[in-house]
Structure 1
Amino acid sequence: MIHGATIRVQHPMRLVDPRHLAQLMSLEDQEPTIAMVGGIIGPRNATPASAAAVGTEQEGPPGEEHQSFPWVVTLLASVLITTIVVDVIGNLLVIVSVFRNKKLRKAGNAFVVSLALADLVVAIYPYPLVLTAIFHDGWIAGYMHCQISGFLMGLSVIGSIFNITGIAINRYCYICHSPKDDNLKYDKLFSNSNTMCYVVLVWTLTILAIVPNWFVESLQYDPRVYSCTFAQSVSSLYTITVVVVHFILPISIVTYCYLRIWILVIQVRRRVKPDSRPKIKPHDLRNFLTMFVVFVLFAVCWAPINFIGLAVALDSRLALAIPEWLFTVSYFMAYFNSCLNAVVYGVLNHNFRKEYKRIVLIIFKLHC
């Protein structure tokens, strides 16, 4: 006993089950509690930074503790608020633009609308809950909201990468194979009805991919990122499967498609392309470059957190070598990606940029 307060040794990196939050909070209100972390008496939520790898349950070296510094909390909140605002406004502009502009109302852009919806989902529900957790330094929304939030986050990221894969396949078929090609007729393969079926298939596969998380109870609150998210410590095999199937495999398919397109573009530029090969129109090339940038940004933003999880799953000893700040930065980089696509369309695509201006002017006139 120290001054009548009980010392409880907390497990350094155990994720919090929101079902027990209310019970824990009531106990803490009744009895003053000091948490001992890594041999040092510190804050109640202190956790060792050295054990901040994904969901690890190993003890870190003494003397290091997790603290929510005011400037860190302010920075994370600012990043998330910016993400939410740009995400909602930008992706609504994308969806409205596609439906308003005939030039944008192509079959292939159905995947663009679907991708915008995937990004919009997280800004409407999970991100505000994460922002609330940041302001309250803990999850206060309860168990059910935690599960729904984690489910929607997974739905968004998997739906995004599957839609990006669909866009890449669509661009590959359109650019690398002429509509007159006997082996592949683009207009028939990507008719409006067929494309809608592909979009439905994308979301069906997305739901099937995220449902197992409920059975393995991998959606848990992680205080390091103030989020109910995929706990990669539940099962090493399951984590490896998730990373490979949900990230590495789709990224490999997209890379192959875009690599073939780049090879064709280089051949056209150097005039070594056989006459039998399809030609590339300038606007098709610009559209391809736009979607290529979308893919690169997604890969850059989501690669760190996926490779951290994969590395720790393959060798749990690496958990101690990964600093907590890297884990947190990796997560918020991934969150930030959801607001980038609409900005890329506006910067690189003339039709989207023109439609954005029209929509903003219409709203401004109505407001005035």
Structure 2
Amino acid sequence: AMDIYASTLSPAVDIGAGCYLLLIAVLSIVGNLLVVIMAFKNSSKMKPPELLSVNLAVTDLGAAVTMYPLAVASAWRHHWIGGDATCLYYGLAGFFFGVASIMNLTILAIVRFVQSPFLSAGEKIGWKKVKMLCIWIWVYALIWALFPVLGWGRYGPEPFGLSCSLAWGEMKQEGFSFVIAMFSFNLVMPSVIIICCYFGISMKLYFTYKMSTSNNYRVTSMIAIMISVGFIGCWAPYGMVSLWSIFRDSSTIPPEVSLLPCMFAKSSTVYNPMIYYFFSRRFKREVKHMRRTCLTFNSRRVSDGTNDNGIYMVTAGINPKITSLMFSV
């Protein structure tokens, strides 16, 4: 009998994949942990919509901590560790955090679209609503992740043997309705909503450009757009290969080729904190301050410089050169 959990890749590729995943894991954990720590440190200044960004960081952190160590260990052993039980666990965790992540981004886009900088305080979304939305995201993701356990859809090893996810190739007959529903509700619909919302925001910005839109709103939107584009970019190749293995035979795809989109999708947990770091002066300053604090153990507060509306993710004190480059319409 063929061992479905044996790696179909060459040992060198396995070791490379393991090293890559280890790097992704470390960067994800450090980066997203920083986002969460900053949010706690600055919670008094935090605005309700920013809770969604923190929720996204928690999602990425969850994926990195619960999944990546197992994947790294398996890659280095050239064999999936733990058989069916860990395969089910890994597939479920991956699907759960993936759906939570894209729903976070979708709701963030809707909230950003609805919240223009011109709303009065009373019209803006409150803490209670945002907390409800965060809870809804987790519940929604959990329901989807449990469907395959309950018999609609199924989890199984990936073609290259070192990872588990939805068993695309085996869902041609019995799980086809699940595949269609999954792609519609968790990939196509969110992507369309995200694109429409950010298109709407850019139109708003364009037409109110002459009026004094706050620089802040523009930068925030820019950060959010980049995160969404990055996310869709990371998951699109994986979605395409998965669709291919449903409509055609997955054995027509060389294992090395099916490994790439999977690795690519895994990197989606890293770049959100990176985008914050490169675009947000405040976030950079906080990170540097924390480094100093860790090194010298003196936690004197660094004065927070210019215009502090909102925490690190929605900074107004951003490099003006970058801003003029990006928003010269």
Per the shorter chain, which TM-score range? 0.7 to 0.9
Q: Distance in 2 between matches of 1:336 and 1:73?
A: 17
Deviation at 1:140, TM superposition (A): 2.1
Q: Distance in 1 between matches of 2:272 and 2:161?
A: 23
Deviates more, 1:218-227 or 1:328-337: 218-227
Distance of aligned partners of 1:333 and 1:187 in 2 relative to their CA distance in 1, 3 Å threshold: farther
Q: Distance in 1 between matches of 2:155 and 2:275?
A: 31
Question: Does the CA-based 8 Å contact 1:147-1:228 persist in structure 2?
Answer: yes
Deviation at 1:206, TM superposition (A): 1.2
1:207 aligns with 2:207: no
Distance of aligned partners of 1:187 and 1:361 in 2 relative to their CA distance in 1, 3 Å threshold: farther
Within the candidate set 106, 109, 114, 1:173 is matched to: 114
Q: Distance in 2 between matches of 1:204 and 1:280?
A: 36
Q: Secondary structure at the residue paired with 1:213?
A: coil
TM-score, scaled to structure 1: 0.74
Q: Distance in 2 between matches of 1:221 and 1:311?
A: 16
Question: Does the CA-based 8 Å contact 2:11-2:78 persist in structure 1?
Answer: no
Paired position in structure 1 for 2:102: 161
Deviation at 1:103, TM superposition (A): 7.8
Give the letter for the 2:227 counterpart. Answer: V
Paired position in structure 1 for 2:320: none
Deviation sequence 1:27-77 (CA, Å, 0-9, x none): xxxxxxxxxxxxxxxxxx58xxxxxxxxxxxxxxxxxxx44141x223211
Q: Secondary structure at the residue paired with 1:107?
A: coil
Q: For structure 1, list consecutive stretches of 5 or more residues without a partner in the other structure.
A: 1-7, 17-44, 47-65, 181-185
Q: Distance in 1 between matches of 2:75 and 2:62?
A: 20
Give the letter for the 1:208 counterpart. Answer: I
Deviation at 1:334, TM superposition (A): 0.3
Question: Does the CA-based 8 Å contact 2:32-2:61 persist in structure 1?
Answer: yes
Paired position in structure 2 for 1:350: 281
Within the candidate set 199, 221, 229, 1:288 is matched to: 221
Give the letter for the 2:238 counterpart. Answer: I
Paired position in structure 2 for 1:366: 297
Q: Distance in 2 between matches of 1:366 and 1:292?
A: 37
Q: Secondary structure at the residue paired with 1:220?
A: strand
1:331 aligns with 2:262: yes
Within the candidate set 225, 230, 236, 1:297 is matched to: 230
1:316 aligns with 2:257: no
Question: Does the CA-based 8 Å contact 2:96-2:145 persist in structure 1?
Answer: yes
Q: Distance in 2 between matches of 1:285 and 1:189?
A: 17
Within the candidate set 165, 179, 184, 1:229 is matched to: 165
Deviation at 1:281, TM superposition (A): 0.5
TM-score, scaled to structure 2: 0.82
Q: For structure 2, list consecutive stretches of 5 or more residues without a partner in the other structure.
A: 299-329
Deviation at 1:187, TM superposition (A): 4.3
Deviation at 1:132, TM superposition (A): 0.9
Within the candidate set 79, 85, 99, 1:138 is matched to: 79
Deviates more, 1:98-107 or 1:322-331: 98-107
Identity across the alignment (%): 20
Distance of aligned partners of 1:321 and 1:220 in 2 relative to their CA distance in 1, 3 Å threshold: closer
Distance of aligned partners of 1:241 and 1:147 in 2 relative to their CA distance in 1, 3 Å threshold: same
Deviation at 1:295, TM superposition (A): 0.5
Q: Distance in 1 between matches of 2:29 and 2:105?
A: 19
Distance of aligned partners of 1:73 and 1:89 in 2 relative to their CA distance in 1, 3 Å threshold: same
Matched residues, number? 294
Q: Secondary structure at the residue paired with 1:229?
A: strand
Question: Does the CA-based 8 Å contact 2:19-2:72 persist in structure 1?
Answer: no
Q: Distance in 1 between matches of 2:85 and 2:108?
A: 34
Q: Distance in 2 between matches of 1:245 and 1:162?
A: 10
Distance of aligned partners of 1:192 and 1:67 in 2 relative to their CA distance in 1, 3 Å threshold: closer
Paired position in structure 2 for 1:253: 193
Question: Does the CA-based 8 Å contact 1:243-1:310 persist in structure 2?
Answer: no
Q: Distance in 1 between matches of 2:190 and 2:100?
A: 11
Q: Secondary structure at the residue paired with 1:214?
A: coil
Question: Does the CA-based 8 Å contact 1:129-1:141 persist in structure 2?
Answer: no
Give the letter for the 2:220 counterpart. Answer: N
Cα RMSD (Å): 2.4
Question: Does the CA-based 8 Å contact 1:159-1:203 persist in structure 2?
Answer: yes
Within the candidate set 272, 276, 282, 1:341 is matched to: 272
Give the letter for the 2:145 counterpart. Answer: I
Within the candidate set 108, 131, 147, 2:88 is matched to: 147
Paired position in structure 1 for 2:318: none
Q: Distance in 2 between matches of 1:89 and 1:134?
A: 22
Q: Distance in 1 between matches of 2:122 and 2:270?
A: 31
